[in-house]
Structure 1
Amino acid sequence: MTEPYHIDTGSNWRRQAVEDWLFGLDLLSPPVREKVVTAWVSAWASSSHEKLEDMPFSPGSPTYPLMRHVNEVTRAGVDLGKRAAADWGVEFDPDVLVSILILHDVDKPLLYAKEGDGAGHTPLFHELPHGVIGGMLLKELGFPHTVVSTVATHATNAPFHGRNLEAQVLHYADLFAADHAFRQMGKTPIYLRHGK
């Protein structure tokens, strides 16, 4: 296996495109915002996707872009964080929670590639599970352990999940947005699926 990604701190046109796309960057401190943008630029520059719009949410969703899913998860997660603060009396560090929400699928551009009019798996998809590659990238960029471990273990098929409240917020925001994506694609939402 070659290196799954490279850190890209240049690519000013990519940086601008990522900054224009991502909801929630204004909720982050400037240093964390820069690392979040660098993470997405690095994943994009290391992928086969020419445009952000080309990145699929999943192989079965060539018409449902990852861009849309990420922003839906971030908006839902920010709302859930506010609800948890009001109802449970907990406060979230925005640099942690919002980073997790924005970055939870940062490795998907490396796992899915365009194939004709659709999308399929890259060879990397068969080497490391979704989330783990994102966690590796985030660790290399210096994100705190809570961000790294939550992103690395958030996938529904992960053998275990984080026990922190940020992981709980991400879980429900991600599934909420994923079910919307599946409905848009004409597929059964996760909450209506029965054990396989």
Structure 2
Amino acid sequence: MYAVTQGSNAQRAAVHDWLKGLDGLRPETADRVVTAWVTSWTSSDWAEIGDVPFSAKAPGYPLAKHVNEVTLAGRALIPRAEADWGVTLDPEIILPILILHDVDKPLLATRDGEKVVKSSLANRMPHGVVGAMLLRELGFDQRVVETVATHATDAPFHNDSAEAHVLHYADLFAADHALRVQGLVPFYRR
């Protein structure tokens, strides 16, 4: 499924360079975030992290761009959630959730010639679960693990935390953007 690895300095730099939001984390948390992405990427069929698509249904949109859009949208929603809902969102919880919500996607898609298709793992495990397993193994807080595990729109149930709500709206906002720019039907119209 995956093998936890620190990866090479070049692999870590490639991941670090495209991820937004690491600046809001403690260095040790940022390091674990990078390790999670390096592990997923190097355990996948993708030669370059930038080649991983957002999804098989939207193969022309890079996962890296989607993840950064989710992180930026989520960061914009945090002060609204805190003010409107009367909650305090810990950056050491909400930022890893935003940055890592799709960490298993490199493992769930592959290429069949020019076409992006589900990997054999994707036919056995739902999106979010493999990422949550990895994050648990890397020692992330249980709130991060649970939210990543249950965030997919087709998950059988969803976490009901404020963090999960922020992720949901940020993720769908960014997903609709990815679908719209490719001329596909956005989630809000399904």
Q: 1:76 maps to what in 2?
A: 73
1:21-170 aligned at under 5 Å gives the runs: 21-170=18-167
**TM-score, normalised to structure 2's length?**
0.97
String of CA shifts for 1:116-148, please: whole Å, max 9, x gaps: 223111100011100000000000000011000
More strand by share: 2
Q: Which runs of 5+ in 2 are unaligned?
A: none
Report if the CA contact (8 A) 1:54-1:114 is conserved.
no
**Partners of 1:115 and 1:14 in 2: CA distance:** 24
Q: What 5-or-longer segments of structure 1 have no aligned partner?
A: none
Equivalence for 1:15: 12
Deviation track 1:10-66 (CA, whole Å, cap 9, x = no partner) reads 321110011100000000011111110000000000001011121011112221010
TM-score by length of 1: 0.94
Task: Note if contact 1:62-1:117 (Cα within 8 Å) is conserved in structure 2.
Answer: no
Between the aligned partners of 1:89 and 1:121, the Cα distance in structure 2 is: 40
Runs of 4+ in structure 1 deviating by more than 4 angstroms, as ranges, are: none
Percent of residue pairs identical: 57
**Given residue 101 of structure 1, which amino acid in structure 2 is its aligned partner?**
L
- Quote the RMSD (CA, aligned, Å): 0.9
For residues 79-128 of structure 1, what are the alpha-carbon distances to aligned partners after superposition, in whole Å with 9 as ceiling and x for unaligned? 11121123333221101000000000000000001232231111000111
